[in-house]
Amino acid sequence: MKHSFINNWYNWSVFLAGASALVALFLVDDLTAKLLWMSVSVLFLHFFEEFGFPGGFPWLGMKVLMNSNEMDSTKWDCNNLSSMFGNWGFLLLIYVLAIVLPDVQLFTLGAMMFSFAELLMHLVLFNVKMKTFYNPGFITAIFGLTPISCYYFAVVYDASMFAWWEYVVAIAWFIFVFWFCFRSPLYWSLGRKPGYELTEQTAFGWMKK
């Protein structure tokens, strides 16, 4: 049961996306909180696009981010356990923490700024490196996370609300969280545990040559 749940974490993400959307639409009045809940909903869908359908992000990450041409996914230090830990952990620390602690404004700033990092990665980095027009996660990053962040900075954001150092701390925060969730010894150790192997669909999607 435990393995089954973890090995289907990206499918469960679809249901969590729906629940988050309902919270954003009907249970939250504050505009900033509403935008954060909408970002959470889109990010859950982002996970499904990357790992469920069409899938293939693990191989994309290995090739572009890790500079590896290894085509045997069983040799990667990456599996469903480490992927769930990394992605759900990142969502909790970056987005949910901003919702839970609304008075710590730099958490919200970091969450909204990170969406532009996703834009650069999926619109520019991955497509340029792979010479493609689409990569797993592209649709939800470009047409989901980016418009929400643009709306935040156009309508809600007020530069006078933040001191210069808060921008530095916000960037440092999501860099640290990225390291902890995707590059820390804990992440790599989880990726080596048996029983959580990636399927062909999850590992390669349509991208396998």
Flag whether 116 is in a domain: yes
**Which pLDDT score, from 0 to 100, does residue 209 have?**
56
Please answer whether residues 81 and 192 qualify as being in contact, where contact means their C-beta atoms are separated by less than 8 angstroms: no
Flag whether 175 is in a domain: yes
Q: Please count the CA atoms within 13 angstroms of the CA of 109 that sit on its side-chain side.
A: 21
Select from 144, 173, 180, 152 the least CA-distant residue to 40.
144
Flag whether 108 is in a domain: yes
pLDDT in tens, 24-37: 999 999 999 999 99
**Which pLDDT score, from 0 to 100, does residue 1 have?**
56
What pTM was computed for the model? 0.95
Flag whether 209 is in a domain: no
Q: How many CB atoms lie within 10 A of CB 178?
A: 17
Flag whether 159 is in a domain: yes
**Which pLDDT score, from 0 to 100, does residue 206 have?**
81
**Which pLDDT score, from 0 to 100, does residue 208 have?**
67
Select from 10, 19, 26, 20 the least CA-distant residue to 40.
20
**Which pLDDT score, from 0 to 100, does residue 33 have?**
96
Question: How many structural domains is the chain composed of?
Answer: 1
Compute the distance between CA of residue 108 and CA of residue 96 in angstroms, rounded to an integer: 10
Select from 116, 13, 124, 140 the least CA-distant residue to 64.
124
Residues of the chain with pLDDT under 70: 1-2, 208-209
Question: What's the one-letter identity of residue 68?
Answer: S
Q: 92 lies in which domain range?
A: 2-204
